[in-house]
Amino acid sequence: MRRLEVGIVGTGYVGLVTGACLAHLGHSVVCVDIDREKVESLSRGEVPIYEPGLEEVVGGALRQERISFTTDLPATVERVDVLFIAVSTPPGEDGAADLSNVASVAREIGASLARRGEKSPLVVVNKSTVPVGSGDYVSMLIEEGAEGRDVSYYVVSNPEFLREGSAVYDTLFPDRIVIGTDSREASEAMRELYAPIIEQSFPTSYDPRPKAAVPFIVTDLASAEMIKYAANAFLATKISFINEVAAICDLVGADVTNVAHGIGLDSRIGSRFLSAGIGWGGSCFPKDVSALRSIAREYDYESTILDAVVAVNDRQLKQVVSKLQRELHTLKGKRVALLGLTFKPNTDDMREAPSLKIARTLDSLGARVVGYDPVATGPASEAVPQMKVVTDPYAALSGAHAAVVVTEWDEVRNLDPKQVAGLMAAPKLVVDGRNVLDPASVEERGLLYRGFGRG
């Protein structure tokens, strides 16, 4: 394979994982960030986020001198063949994606392009999750930054489909690679960049290799941008659907875990994202569903299904409080332990974590909230100062009248019910917000079990 010079603007979750994995494949990667302290710590191999395997990949790329970190975007534009924009696009008050970071980078790229001289056109890749039409928007901003100078570039959409907690794996063994462009030259450059992944020709310790080959899909810019939003919106819909079914299961005495297993065996449905419970959170689903609804409103279209998806998800968090109130009667003065605080296991990401809304609601109702998480103690304490956060799950459970399983960490799944029962105060209520515990094992130890849709 040909070793390409690659730039990544933004060393957040997506940017850092993408850059590290491309360096791991053999490309020469320079990651750009405006935060000088962050650049310096990354240059020492200090990874600021918790993501399994990422520190090892970054460290290996540093040792082989395949990755570097800088604050100098103009010099990077001058040097590289492909430049990824991987900056944050947080939701605004109306739910629409805030593109101010993308805009700033695009203008600076335009201002720096003239420095490339006779080099081949720069392939500018939108890796950030951006609304439909953003490819044209970025092109316009690059031209603004160029201020009338003749510059040569292509704008490509290449949405990411990474799951936090398995992002390195998802990058190297993806279900598909999606490229949005009308340029044959740009699509071929991206195919060359991703060739080791497409062909699965890079060395791996997996035996057998998880993938034989990876589909490489080339479409127009708008369709590629929509694929990202549609994928996440559909997965969020699937979760809200099974939660709707769970509510009906509670009414008729059925067990949603059996129902989900039964319907998940249908190849048209599939078993993934059919786990009933508290619902979805995190940095992707809320933001992307909100952005897609915002796009629909721009065109005066009523997104009825997406509106219902959000409504069901909001209801699930309220169900946690309702289950606590039903058994404790009053929450004033009651100690409630939240087990797991990040929005999912194997990450330290607290963005839109269900635990935060639950903790704030319980605090407002007079409960004494104590939280446990194996990796996010600091971020959780900062997010909800009124919640006491501990590093030992049994310390959180000591004297608690109720416990809520919020995040299905292995450390939570594997708690000893007998020890838990000995520590908790009556009524020793366990609200299983992820349906990961065995009700019979929990109740035979004297705990009061309440799940979601389990009859």
Q: Provide the token pair at 259.
A: 């129902």
pLDDT digits (tens, 9 = 90+) for 159-215: 999 998 999 999 999 999 999 999 999 999 999 999 999 999 999 999 899 999 999
* Residues tagged in the binding site annotation for substrate: 161-164, 228, 273-277, 281, 344
| Shared domain check, 322 and 203 | no
Among 219, 253, 272, identify where a domain stops.
219
> What pLDDT, on the 0 to 100 scale, is given for residue 185?
96
Residue 249, in any domain of the structure: no
Residue 267, in any domain of the structure: no
* Residues tagged in the binding site annotation: 33, 38, 89, 129, 161-164, 228, 273-277, 281, 287, 344, 351
62 pLDDT above the threshold of 80: yes
What is the pLDDT confidence band of residue 379, given thresholds at 50, 70 and 90? confident
> What pLDDT, on the 0 to 100 scale, is given for residue 417?
96
68 pLDDT above the threshold of 80: yes
Interatomic CA distance for residues 411 and 338, integer angstroms: 13
Q: Provide the token pair at 209.
A: 């290799």
Q: Are the beta carbons of 296 and 311 closer than 8 angstroms? A: no
Q: Provide the token pair at 26.
A: 């053999």
Phi/psi class of residue 15: alpha, beta or left (left: φ > 0; alpha: ψ in -120 to 50)? Answer: alpha
Q: Provide the token pair at 63.
A: 């040792």
Question: What's the mean pLDDT in 129-140?
Answer: 87
Interatomic CA distance for residues 283 and 348, integer angstroms: 12
Q: Provide the token pair at 253.
A: 């005495």
Q: Are the beta carbons of 25 and 196 closer than 8 angstroms? A: yes
**Buried/exposed 408-436: b ≥16 CB within 10 Å, e otherwise:** bbebbeebebeebbebbeeebbbbbbbbb
Q: For 32, phi and psi rounded to 5 degrees?
A: -110, 135
Among 174, 191, 219, identify where a domain stops.
219
> What pLDDT, on the 0 to 100 scale, is given for residue 119?
85
Among 335, 320, 285, smallest CA distance to 432 is for 320
> What pLDDT, on the 0 to 100 scale, is given for residue 297?
93
Residue 272, in any domain of the structure: no
* Structural domain count, the chain: 2
| Shared domain check, 292 and 164 | no
Q: What is the DSSP letter of 113?
A: G
For residue 129, give the amino acid letter.
T
* Residues tagged in the binding site annotation for NAD(+): 33, 38, 89, 129, 164, 287, 351
Residue 37, in any domain of the structure: yes
**Mean pLDDT of all residues belonging to the chain:** 94
Interatomic CA distance for residues 177 and 162, integer angstroms: 11
| Shared domain check, 300 and 205 | no
Helices (H), 375-434: 377-383, 393-397, 410-413, 417-423
**Above pLDDT 90, what percent of the chain?**
86
pLDDT digits (tens, 9 = 90+) for 390-426: 999 999 999 999 999 999 999 999 999 999 999 999 9
Task: Among 131-140, 276-285, 333-342, name the most confident range.
Answer: 333-342
For residue 379, give the amino acid letter.
P
Phi/psi class of residue 352: alpha, beta or left (left: φ > 0; alpha: ψ in -120 to 50)? Answer: left
Q: Provide the token pair at 237.
A: 């819909």
| Shared domain check, 316 and 205 | no
Q: Where in the sequence is the domain holding 86, given as residue range(s)?
A: 5-219
Among 143, 439, 224, smallest CA distance to 448 is for 439
Residue 400, in any domain of the structure: yes
Contacts of 417 (CB under 8 A, 6+ apart): 441, 442, 444, 445, 447
Residue 142, in any domain of the structure: yes
Interatomic CA distance for residues 92 and 101, integer angstroms: 13
pLDDT digits (tens, 9 = 90+) for 243-258: 999 999 999 999 999 9
Residue 280, in any domain of the structure: no
| Shared domain check, 147 and 20 | yes
| Residue whose token pair is 């704008």 | 155
Among 138, 151, 140, smallest CA distance to 112 is for 151
Q: Is 186 exposed, middle or buried (0-12, 13-18, 19+ CB in 10 A)?
A: buried
1 pLDDT above the threshold of 70: no
Q: Are the beta carbons of 142 and 126 closer than 8 angstroms? A: no
pLDDT digits (tens, 9 = 90+) for 329-360: 999 999 999 999 999 999 988 989 999 999 99
Interatomic CA distance for residues 46 and 187, integer angstroms: 34
Q: Is 254 exposed, middle or buried (0-12, 13-18, 19+ CB in 10 A)?
A: middle
> What pLDDT, on the 0 to 100 scale, is given for residue 331?
97
End-to-end Cα separation, the chain, in angstroms? 57
Q: Is 242 exposed, middle or buried (0-12, 13-18, 19+ CB in 10 A)?
A: buried
- Which range (69-83, 131-145, 361-375) has the least confidence? 131-145
Residue 352, in any domain of the structure: yes
| Shared domain check, 289 and 212 | no
Question: What's the mean pLDDT in 130-145?
Answer: 90
Question: What's the mean pLDDT in 123-148?
Answer: 90
Task: Record the pTM.
Answer: 0.90
Question: What's the mean pLDDT in 132-138?
Answer: 88
| Shared domain check, 289 and 194 | no
> What pLDDT, on the 0 to 100 scale, is given for residue 412?
96
| Residue whose token pair is 């799950």 | 393
Among 219, 242, 276, identify where a domain stops.
219
- Does the bond joining 427 to the residue before it have cis omega, within 30 degrees of 0? yes
Catalytic residues: 284
> What pLDDT, on the 0 to 100 scale, is given for residue 114?
86
Which strands sit side by side in the sheet containing 388-390, from one edge to the other?
Answer: 388-390, 368-372, 335-339, 402-405, 429-432, 448-450
